Amino acid sequence: MSLRWRKFGNMLAGAAPLAGAVISMAWLGWSSEAGATSMLWAMATHPIGAIALIQTLYTALLGVLWLKYQPFTVSADVEWPKVSVIIPAYNEGPMVGRSIRSVAACAYPKDKLEVIVVDDGSRDDTFFHMQHLRREFPDLVKLVRFSGNRGKRSALVAGFRAASGDYVITIDSDSEIDPRTVHEMVTPFLADPKVGGVAGRVAVLNRENAISRMLEVQYTLAFDYGRAAQSVYRTVACCPGALSAFKKSIILPYMDEWENQRFLGRPVNHGEDQALTNIVLRQGFDTVYQRSAVVNTLVPTTYSQLSRMFLRWDRSYIVEGFSFARFMFTRYRENNRLLPIVTFLVSNLRFVLVAVAIMELPRLFDTNVTTMGRSVVALALGAIFSAAYYLRFERSMRWVYGVLYALFSVVALQWILPWALVTVRDERWGTR
């Protein structure tokens, strides 16, 4: 494929989510008995409609930013620094061995690499598999073992303090990295000294049923599309636990604060990745996204697992949203301060939407079938175009699962954010 056609394909992919938003609203206007103009006015004067219009404009902004995104690169003869890879593990069983092995098999110079695996008091055979890999790679793998379960945050703290590298990469113990991932995660730091944190691309390892396949498409849209746009203004909101990298010198002075973080008087045991990201941003450094650094991770395969994961994420989103809000209006850095505020405000329209939806719930039963049908079609149209973004990475009919996810989310997942608000002080992990 020629470069011109590749660029054209990229433009189409970047425009797909915006096209979906515009077409879904155009459908509502065209299908309305009151006419498009009246329908648009009705939307603009209703909280839910106004939020939809704002989200459409924000999607247009993301599309423009996405087109400007480029992964970081360095020259081939660069001097690669010492890197420490930390893998916290709890009751992971044989999967922790696969995770360690994927790092051991990477192409990064082995004399510049160490793998620190922390057993967070596992009650199964996790430590047995860790010992097996330690014997197989004695010069590469270091083990830390807790006598009891202290939580992922404490495991990461132990890893950071044991690390001898200038840069620390964190990987979940249910994940496997690609051979070039360590190189790619380090590259942004070498390309720009203002970079303090790097988010890698999270892909789905297990594609075995409808839920995991829905998440495969959703991860592509939410994690790649969104983080690529955020990377352009150097504020990726969350460097994910599945694959992140940090400049160690930025994080170390805040280890105690991070490990002992509290919210509303209770310890915070979730959201360690977003908390680390906030520490980096608060010190005036940038957080960026490196699409070429890939990790494949296990995702939920049951509704129970899925809802618990999203519940934990939303609790973390609430807690760390407060943390970011405390400094986002300050001069925490010289440039790129406006767009993070815009993203924060638009993202938090979710709370307004939930409140309005709860108040409007009694009226749902008075809604006629035709109106509900138009709304379902509008949702499906938007989802079709958004899910088509997945085709940029893989030519597969699995993109259809993105449409299914949109419908599934509306029906089965909307309770999670309100419940996260009610139970935000609950520090339990939830998926172990």
Nearest CA to 174 out of 128, 136, 126 is that of: 126
| Confidence tier at 394 by pLDDT (50, 70, 90) | confident
First-to-last alpha carbon distance for the chain, in angstroms, is 46
- Torsion sign over Cα 181, 183, 186, 188: negative
- Looking at the structure, do residues 50 and 97 belong to the same domain, yes or no? no
317 DSSP 8-state letter: H
- Looking at the structure, do residues 372 and 393 belong to the same domain, yes or no? yes
- Looking at the structure, do residues 252 and 382 belong to the same domain, yes or no? no
Write down the pLDDT at residue 28: 62
| Residue 263 resides in a domain | yes
Q: Tens digits of per-residue pLDDT, 355-392?
A: 887 777 666 555 556 666 766 777 777 777 788 788 87
Judge whether 263 and 305 are in contact, CB under 8 Å.
no
Q: What does pLDDT average to over the chain?
A: 88
- Looking at the structure, do residues 14 and 98 belong to the same domain, yes or no? no
- Looking at the structure, do residues 240 and 93 belong to the same domain, yes or no? yes
| Residue 311 resides in a domain | no
Nearest CA to 313 out of 162, 191, 429, 227 is that of: 429
Residues spanned by the domain of 378? 3-70+340-422
Judge whether 180 and 106 are in contact, CB under 8 Å.
yes
User: Residue 260: which CATH number?
Assistant: 3.90.550.10
Q: Tens digits of per-residue pLDDT, 165-206?
A: 999 999 999 999 999 999 999 999 999 999 999 999 999 999
- Looking at the structure, do residues 290 and 152 belong to the same domain, yes or no? yes
248, 270, 300 - which closes a domain: 300
Say whether pLDDT at 115 is over 60.
yes
- Looking at the structure, do residues 41 and 95 belong to the same domain, yes or no? no
The domain total for the chain is: 2
- Looking at the structure, do residues 31 and 121 belong to the same domain, yes or no? no
300, 331, 361 - which closes a domain: 300
- Looking at the structure, do residues 170 and 32 belong to the same domain, yes or no? no
- Looking at the structure, do residues 289 and 373 belong to the same domain, yes or no? no
| Confidence tier at 254 by pLDDT (50, 70, 90) | very high
Residue 11: CA atoms inside 13 Å, Cβ hemisphere, count?
6
| Residue 322 resides in a domain | no
Q: In whole angstroms, how far apart are CA 129 and each of 12, 138, 187, 315, 354?
A: 46, 14, 31, 32, 45
Nearest CA to 52 out of 37, 40, 63 is that of: 40
pLDDT mean over 14-33: 68
DSSP string, 129-140: HHHHHHHHSTTT
| Residue 76 resides in a domain | no
| Residue 75 resides in a domain | no
- Looking at the structure, do residues 88 and 50 belong to the same domain, yes or no? no
Q: What is the C-alpha separation between 84 and 100, in angstroms, rounded?
A: 13
Residue 119's φ and ψ, nearest 5 degrees, are -85, 110
111 DSSP 8-state letter: G
**In terms of pLDDT, which residue wins out, 38 or 107?**
107
Structure tokens at 91: 């009751």
Q: In whole angstroms, how far apart are CA 375 and each of 53, 239, 307, 382, 407?
A: 15, 35, 25, 11, 11
- The amino acid occupying position 412 is A
- Looking at the structure, do residues 296 and 370 belong to the same domain, yes or no? no
DSSP string, 215-244: HHHHHIIIIIIHHHHHHHTTB-S---TTEE
| Residue 368 resides in a domain | yes
| Residue 78 resides in a domain | no
| Residue 405 resides in a domain | yes
Write down the pLDDT at residue 83: 98
81 DSSP 8-state letter: P
H or E element, residue 249: helix 248-251
Structure tokens at 258: 């991070």
Cα 280 to chain centroid distance, Å, stands at 16
Q: What is the C-alpha separation between 365 and 374, in angstroms, rounded?
A: 16
